[in-house]
């Protein structure tokens, strides 16, 4: 009974979850918004900050300053000739994986879909620059990503220049890690199936135990009733034995009366 109630509650919970289509639209809209914001801000930095002095936003803390990153985050591998194609390949794989997650994640957790959208938007924004943005560096044309946000977080401590796509990627990955920590089992349908099978087996075991208990109760009841039935049988036999002499005496009396009647008739 308990298992059937839990099953009904599970079905009701699934029926109440948002539709897959609504979550996909959420991912698409957020991805487009992040991508548009990133590309617009990079275009502004390209036209305004390139070959121009930095713009102070908060003195000593926050500046807009042009940067052109030919490597990965924090300018790693910026001089490696193979880095650009490697980054493009990794980005495409990441976006495809995020798309697969959007098609398979349980729809009840909106944070997971927001994370997917942020990662996709940020990855596509930087991918755009690696595909089309070119600048001459030391007499050589190089592909790279436009960065323009510079933050000072202490005396003579400067965080590497970044952009809106980088912000979206960091926040998206952070949300995704939180989701995986709390609901990582949701990504493993096989494990969920095994858990369901285990629950079914437990329910079957409980039913079997209940049946065994009923059988034991029946045996106990029969054992309890057996002495009573035996006693009743003994009492019946005793009653029959007690009544037998009386019946025999009645039969003799009947024979005597019959004989007397016969003698009377003869006289």
Q: What is the DSSP string of 162-192?
A: E-HHHHHHHHHHHHHHHHHHHHGGGG-HHHH
CB 50 within 8 A of CB 66: yes
Long-range residue pairs from 59-63, CB within 8 A, at least 24 positions apart, any chain: 60/152, 61/151, 61/152, 62/149, 62/150, 62/151, 62/152, 63/150, 63/151, 63/152
CA angle 17, 30, 118 (to 5 degrees): 95
Q: Is 147 a known active-site residue?
A: yes
Q: Is 214 a known active-site residue?
A: no
What distances in angstroms separate CA 153 from CA 47, 62, 148, 167, one per listed residue?
27, 9, 16, 16
Catalytic residue among 166, 209, 216, 235: 166
What is the spatial distance between Cα 79 and Cα 218, in angstroms, rounded to a whole number?
84
What is the spatial distance between Cα 107 and Cα 114, in angstroms, rounded to a whole number?
11
Catalytic residue among 147, 185, 199, 205: 147
Residues annotated catalytic, as ranges? 147, 166
């Amino acid at each position: 009974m308990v298992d059937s109630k839990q099953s009904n509650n599970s079905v009701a919970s699934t029926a109440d979850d948002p539709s897959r289509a609504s979550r996909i639209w959420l991912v698409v809209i957020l991805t487009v918004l992040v991508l548009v914001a990133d590309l617009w801000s990079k275009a502004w930095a390209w036209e305004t900050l390139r070959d121009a002095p930095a713009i102070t936003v908060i003195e000593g803390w926050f500046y807009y300053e042009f940067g052109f990153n030919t490597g990965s985050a924090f300018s790693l591998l910026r001089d490696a000739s193979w880095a650009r194609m490697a980054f493009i390949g990794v980005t495409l794989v990441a976006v495809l994986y995020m798309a697969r997650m959007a098609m398979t994640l349980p729809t009840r957790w909106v944070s997971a879909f927001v994370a997917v959208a942020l990662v996709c938007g940020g990855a596509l924004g930087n991918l755009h620059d690696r595909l089309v943005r070119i600048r001459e560096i030391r007499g050589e044309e190089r592909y790279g990503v436009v960065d323009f946000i510079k933050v000072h977080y202490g005396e003579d401590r400067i965080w590497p220049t970044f952009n809106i796509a980088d912000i979206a990627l960091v926040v998206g990955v952070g949300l995704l890690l939180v989701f995986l920590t709390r609901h990582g089992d949701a990504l493993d349908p096989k494990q969920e199936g095994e858990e369901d099978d285990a629950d079914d087996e437990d329910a079957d075991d409980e039913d079997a135990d209940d049946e065994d208990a009923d059988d034991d109760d029946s045996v106990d009841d029969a054992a309890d009733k057996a002495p009573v039935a035996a006693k009743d049988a003994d009492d019946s036999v005793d009653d029959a034995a007690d009544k037998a002499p009386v019946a025999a005496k009645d039969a003799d009396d009947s024979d005597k009366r019959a004989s007397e009647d016969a003698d009377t008739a003869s006289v």
